A and B are shown apart, each in its own frame.
Chain A
Amino acid sequence: MSSKEWPLWEVFIRSKQGLNHKHVGSLRAADAEMALENARDVYTRRSEGISIWVVESNNVFASDPSESQEFFEPADSKIYRHPTFYDVPDGISHM
């Protein structure tokens, strides 16, 4: 990425009270204040949000998709964490 450009920001929007912020896309801006205003104009023109987070893309650390199999393996092998692993006889309810 060339230095002539403003930094890239990731935009997260809370669409309504009670829901979590969700990633919606990215944009370029000179600083955080400008990123917030641009995010409002680009991603919430139709009242899609009541709260915005912007995070400079450089500050996002991501897992590596090529290693996702090994990375997430600990969860895949523990099927007993799911309720469907257990046999419940017919006639038992509220469980």
Chain B
Amino acid sequence: MKEVNITELERMFQEKIDQDIKIEPKDWMPDDYRETLIRQISQHAHSEIVGMLPEGNWITRAPNLRRKAVLLAKVQDEAGHGLYLYSAAETLGADREDTIDDLHTGKAKYSSIFNYPTLTWADMGAIGWLVDGAAIMNQVPICRCSYGPYARAMVRVCKEESFHQRQGFEIMMTLAKGSPEQKAMAQDALNRFWWPALMMFGPSDGESKHTAQSMKWKIKRSTNDELRQQFVDVTVPQAEMIGLTLPDADLKLNEATGHYEYGEINWAEFWEVVKGNGPCNKDRIDTRRKAKEEGQWVREAATAFAQKRAARKSA
């Protein structure tokens, strides 16, 4: 191989990015690019895994067999999405076990939304509709991310998640058309999940420290505020259609821009939840840790069984 210095490699790397040539695992990449991706992909993976918990809470209490089968399928998808993403992170040299331990020790973050409790069945509707809706909005641009394995994983995830959002909307629509108590339950879930869903897009562009570099590297293709606005614009008419009211007195259509203007997001709350002080942070991590500890014997048994089978084959 020719001797090339780092600056030259970095220049060639950025040139590839600018030409929309994907970066693949064994290609040269700047250390910061690798680290940024490992951080983002593993956070994303953790969000999928922790995201199973609020919904898992309702599997045994779904109102009928159809809803239960659908919820199970959705939660199973989230597990699958976590696995696609952990293996994408591994292609960058991240150790899977260490990655998971970073979640359990609180070193790694995951989406703040999953630290809110799911109090009623309507929350399954609000999560599918709003949380998966916001996640899709976030993930669609990542299908064009510069890093091949991440982009490919996102294509699969987005394809699968469109059913997640629809099933949530269907739950909300059904409740909204139901008895006054059911409609009130749907409205209550919307009231509790609306603002946390807006926070899912992350801090405002001015406050987001990674955005500029990530956009240059095409890891990120839209800013947090752009995506948030897109989400508000598509969701407002959906809420109107099913007769629910978004809990924002300042929400109004700006006729000139065609966009909905929304009220001030409670960033103090957002940062508290990110820091670990949300209503369910401790519970979520404890549950994940316990799952790993209590599954230890299963993993050991599988390893022993594989060894026994291999020994028998070679004998």
Residues of A bordering B, CB below 8 Å? 1-2, 4-6, 8, 25-28, 30-31, 33-34, 41-42, 45-46, 62, 64-67
A-B contact pairs, 24 of them (CB 8 A): A2-B98, A5-B95, A5-B96, A5-B97, A8-B90, A25-B84, A25-B87, A25-B149, A25-B152, A26-B87, A27-B83, A27-B87, A30-B303, A30-B306, A31-B306, A31-B309, A31-B310, A34-B302, A45-B76, A45-B80, A45-B160, A64-B26, A66-B27, A67-B1
Shortest C-beta distance, B147 to chain A (Å), equals 14
Given contacts A2-B95, A42-B84, contact A65 B24 (CB under 8 A): yes
Q: Give the residues in chain A near B170, CB-CB below 8 Å.
A: none
Q: How far is the CA of A42 from the CA of B76 in the complex (A)?
A: 9
Contact (A1, B95) CB under 8 Å given A25-B84, A31-B306, A66-B1? yes
Q: How far is the CA of A66 from the CA of B97 in the complex (A)?
A: 29
Q: How far is the CB of B200 from chain A (nearest CB, A)?
A: 25
B153 within 8 Å of A by Cβ?
yes
B267 at the interface (CB under 8 A from A): no
In the complex, chain B residues whose CB is within 8 Å of the CB of A41: 80
Contact between chains at B160 and A66 (CB < 8 Å): no
B1: chain A residues at CB < 8 Å are 66-67
CA distance in complex: A26, B80 (Å): 12
Task: Please give me the residue from chain B that is nearest to A48 by CB atom.
Answer: B156
Which among B83, B87, B303 is the interface contact of A6 at CB below 8 angstroms?
B303
Provide the residues of chain B in CB contact with A31, threshold 8 Å. 305-306, 309-310
CA distance A5 to B310 in the complex (A): 17
Does B77 lie at the interface of the complex (its beta carbon under 8 Å from any beta carbon of A)? yes
Interface residues of B in 262-315 (CB under 8 A from A): 299, 302-303, 305-306, 309-310
Complex alpha-carbon distance, A82 and B91, angstroms:
36
B269: min CB distance to chain A, Å: 36
Complex Cα distance A46/B88, Å?
Answer: 21
Q: Give the chain B neighbours of A25 by CB distance below 8 A.
A: 84, 87-88, 149, 152-153
B80, B83, B160, B299: most-surrounded residue (chain A CB, <10 A): B83
Can you add 5 more A-B contacts, CB < 8 Å, to A26-B87, A34-B306, A66-B1? A8-B90, A25-B84, A27-B87, A31-B310, A42-B80
Name the A residues within 8 Å of B303 (CB-CB): 6, 30
A66 to B98, CA, bound (A): 29
In the assembled complex, the Cα of A41 lies from the Cα of B299 at a distance in Å of: 17
Q: In the complex the two chains form, is B83's CB within 8 Å of A42's CB?
A: yes
CB distance from A12 to the nearest CB of B (A): 14
A86 CA / B226 CA spacing, docked (Å): 51
Is B28's beta carbon under 8 Å from chain A? yes
A65 touches B27 (CB 8 A): yes
- Which B residues touch A64, using CB under 8 A? 26
What chain B residues lie within 8 Å of A34 (beta carbons)?
302, 306
Instruction: Report B43 CB to chain A, min CB distance, Å.
Output: 19
CB proximity of A10 to chain B, nearest CB, Å:
10
Contact of B26 among A4, A45, A62 (CB under 8 A): A62
Kindly state the separation between the CA atoms of A63 and B167 in the bound complex, as whole angstroms.
Answer: 45
